[in-house]
Structure 1
Amino acid sequence: MTDRTGAVLVTGASSGLGEATALVLARAGFTVYAGVRSTEAAARIARGHPGVRPLPLDVTSADSVREACARVREQTGDAGLRGLVNNAGICVSAPLECVPPDELRAELEVNLIGTVTVTQAFLPLLRVRPPGTPPGTPAGRIVNVSSGIGRVAAPFLGAYAASQFAKEGMSDALRRELAPLSVSVSIVEPGAIMTPIWTKVAASAHRLLDAAPAEAADPYRRGFRGFVAMNERRARESRTRPEAVGHAVGHAMTARRPRTRYRVGPDAWVASMAARLLPDRVLDAAIRRQLASAAAADAGDTTGAGGTAKAGDTVGAGGLAGAAAGSGGPGGPGGRRHREAGR
C-alpha cells in the first residue's frame, strides 16, 4: 500500500455515497475537498466534518470548475492533487419513449460531460509530483463512480444506462491514455443501496409520465410502478452500506497496484458476469420475468412513476440488472437476494 496523505477531490459530496466516500477518505488521513453545489451543504459539511473542506462546484458549469480548480491549486501548491473521485450524477428514470430530449441532455451533461470537464481541469494537478518525490513514484489517481447499469442496461433506466455505458468507455480510454503518465484510472461499479437518490426518485413520481402523451405513457404505467417499487425495496433491504463505496475508493487511492474496476455489492458482480456470459435473449427473458413479478406484486399500488433524481451521491441502480441476471440462465445464483452499494 502507498501512503495515505495528500489532497483528494470528491464531486457530488453533499450526501449519500459522495459524502460517505469523503468521510472514509478523511478518516484515512487524506485532506478531502468535497465538491458541493449548494451553500447549505457547504455550511453543513464545514460544521460537521473535520478534515473535509467544502468546495463550491457545479460540474456542468465551466466557470465553476475553473474556479474550483484555481482554489485547490492555490491551497495545495507544489503538492498538487493526490486523487480525483468523479461521483456527481443524476438519474432519469422513465420509459425512453417518455424521456424529453432536454432530460436526456441533462443526464449526459452531468454524468458524462461533467466528468470529462472536471477531469480535464484537474489533470495538471494530478500529474504533479511533490518536490523530493523518488523517481518512478506514481502520480495522481482518478476514480470514476459508475454503476452496474453501465454493464447491463435495465428497462426504464435507458437514459441513465446510456450515460453509464459512455462513462465506462470513456474511463477505459482515459486509463490507457494516462498509463504512460503514471496516472491511474479506476472505475467503481456499485449495485443497489439506500441513499437519498431513491427518496428523490419517489418525490418526482408521475412527472415524466404525466407530462407525456397518454398514448405514449399509458402502456408503461403498470410495469413502471412495479419497477420503482422493486428497486426501492431492494435498496431498502440492502445490507451494504454507502461506506463500502468509500472503502473501494480508498483502496484505489492507496493500493500499490489499484484495480481497473471495483464492483461493490453482489448484484454488481452478477450484472458484470451476466454481461459477459449470458446471451442477450436469456438476459432479456430474465429481466422480463422480474418486471412481470414486480408488476403483479404492485398491482394494487397507485404510487410511483417517472422522474429525475439528483444524485450528488450517485445512483445505486444495479438492483434490477443483478437480480434479473441471477434469476435465470446458466451459472446464475438462482433466487438469492442481491444487495449493492450504489452509483
Structure 2
Amino acid sequence: MSNSRGAVFVTGASSGLGEATALGLADAGFTVYAGVRSAAGADRLTRANPAIRPLTLDVTSADSVAAARKELAAETAGAGLHGLVNNAGICVSAPLECVPLDDLRAELEVNLIGAVAVTQALLPLLRTRSAATAAAEPAGRIVNISSGIGRVAAPFLGPYAASQFAKEGVSDALRRELAPLSVSVSIIEPGAIMTPIWSKVADGARRVLDAAPAEVAGSYRARFEEFVALNEKRARDSRTRPQDVARAVGHALSAPRPRIRYRVGQDAWSAALAARLLPDRVVDALIQRQFSAVRASAPAPAIGGTEAAR
C-alpha cells in the first residue's frame, strides 16, 4: 500500500454510486480496491484514475469472494484493510403478485446475502487493521449502502425494500457485535439519485409484467406506469449526486467518530422522519397522493408490450 490512509475495498464499483465512491476515495488518499463484474468496468475505472486497483468479484459466488479475499490479503501484506464498502446491489421492481420467485431470490442474494458473505470473508483483515491501530477511534470500518427505501417501503419496490430493510437490521446487529472489536459499522441511506439503475429497473419490470397472465398484469399496469414516471421524475429533479454519497462514505471511513446512519438527500431525511413520526395510514395516504399528482400532471410513459427486456 502506498497511501497512508489505508486500503479500502468497494463492491459494485463498475458504475453509479460504487464508481463515484471508488473515485472519491482514491482522490481522498485511500488505496482503493474496486470490485467489478467485467473487464469493461475495470477499464473505465482505471482510465478515470490509474491508481484504482480493480478486482473481479461476484458477491453471489463463494469462489469469487474467496479469491478476492486471498488477493486482498496478499496485496495488503499483513497490514489489513482499513475499510469495506458494501455497495453491490440490484433493484427488482414489479408488483409482488407478478415477481418471479427466482427474481426475489436474486435480489436477496446480491443485496443482502452477498454483503454478508463479503463481510464474513474480510472481517479478519479488518480486525488485523484494528489490532495494529490505537484504540482511540475505530480502525477497521464497514460501510453498508442501503436506501431511503430501507425505511419506508414504496409500492412496486417490494423485493428491493425487503433487501434494504434486512440490510438495516443486519447492520445494526453487526455494529453491536463488532463495537468491542474496534470495527465500526455505518449505513448510508441515499434518496433518489439519477444513476444507470433506473433504466435497468424499467426494463426488468417490463419483462416481469409481460410474462404475467394478462388479467394480472392488467390490474397493475396503469398504476405501475405512474410509479415509473414518478420515480424517474424524482431522480431527474433530485439535487443529490453520486458524489454526495461518496463524500458520506469518506466521512464514515475517516471520522474519529463515524455516524451510525448517513441520510443523503432531502427525500431520505423525509422518509426517515415519516417512518418515525407518522402513523402507517398517513404514510399510505401521502404515497397515494404522490401518484395522483403524477396522474394529473401528465400521461405516464408506456411500459409494456411484447419486446423482451434483456
In the alignment, structure 2 segments of 5+ residues that lack a partner are none
Contact 1:60 1:110 in 2 (8 A): yes
User: Separation in 2 of the partners of 1:239 and 1:38?
Assistant: 30
User: Separation in 1 of the partners of 2:181 and 2:139?
Assistant: 8
Q: CA deviation at 1:79?
A: 1.1
Name the structure 2 match of 1:255: 255
Deviations, residues 231-282 of structure 1 (Å, cap 9, x unaligned): 1111011121110000000000010000000000000000000000000111
SS at match of 1:169: helix
Name the structure 2 match of 1:109: 109
Contact 1:225 1:295 in 2 (8 A): no
User: Separation in 1 of the partners of 2:139 and 2:205?
Assistant: 45
Distance 1:246 1:135, change over 3 A: closer
Distance 1:130 1:162, change over 3 A: closer
Name the structure 2 match of 1:62: 62
Matched, 1:268 2:287: no
SS at match of 1:92: coil
Contact 1:11 1:34 in 2 (8 A): yes
User: Separation in 1 of the partners of 2:187 and 2:234?
Assistant: 23
Name the structure 2 match of 1:220: 220
Name the structure 1 match of 2:194: 194
| Structure 1 segment 307-322 matched on structure 2, within 5 A | none
User: Separation in 2 of the partners of 1:18 and 1:123?
Assistant: 20
| Structure 1 segment 293-304 matched on structure 2, within 5 A | 293-299=293-299, 301-303=301-303
Q: CA deviation at 1:180?
A: 0.5
User: Separation in 1 of the partners of 2:300 and 2:136?
Assistant: 63
Name the structure 1 match of 2:100: 100
User: Separation in 2 of the partners of 1:131 and 1:268?
Assistant: 35
Matched, 1:163 2:163: yes
| Structure 1 segment 271-282 matched on structure 2, within 5 A | 271-282=271-282
Q: CA RMSD in A?
A: 2.0
Name the structure 2 match of 1:151: 151
Contact 1:146 1:164 in 2 (8 A): yes
User: Separation in 1 of the partners of 2:285 and 2:198?
Assistant: 26
Q: CA deviation at 1:203?
A: 3.5
User: Separation in 1 of the partners of 2:147 and 2:203?
Assistant: 22
Distance 1:161 1:130, change over 3 A: closer
Deviations, residues 75-97 of structure 1 (Å, cap 9, x unaligned): 10121000000000000010101
Over 4 Å off, 4+ runs: none
Deviations, residues 187-236 of structure 1 (Å, cap 9, x unaligned): 00000010011122234452111101122211111111011011111101
* Equivalent position amino acid for 2:179 in 1: A
Identity of aligned residues (%): 70
Name the structure 2 match of 1:17: 17
User: Separation in 1 of the partners of 2:19 and 2:153?
Assistant: 26
SS at match of 1:79: coil
User: Separation in 2 of the partners of 1:111 and 1:28?
Assistant: 27
Distance 1:156 1:130, change over 3 A: closer
Contact 2:130 2:140 in 1 (8 A): no
Name the structure 2 match of 1:319: none
Distance 1:237 1:137, change over 3 A: closer
Deviations, residues 111-135 of structure 1 (Å, cap 9, x unaligned): 0000000000000000013886445
* Equivalent position amino acid for 1:55 in 2: L
| TM-score normalised by length of structure 2 | 0.94
In the alignment, structure 1 segments of 5+ residues that lack a partner are 311-343
Contact 1:81 1:140 in 2 (8 A): yes
User: Separation in 1 of the partners of 2:43 and 2:182?
Assistant: 36
Name the structure 2 match of 1:129: 129
SS at match of 1:127: helix
User: Separation in 1 of the partners of 2:205 and 2:129?
Assistant: 48
If asked which structure has higher relative contact order (CA below 8 Å, sep 6+), I would say: 1
Distance 1:137 1:255, change over 3 A: closer
* Equivalent position amino acid for 2:12 in 1: G
Name the structure 2 match of 1:328: none
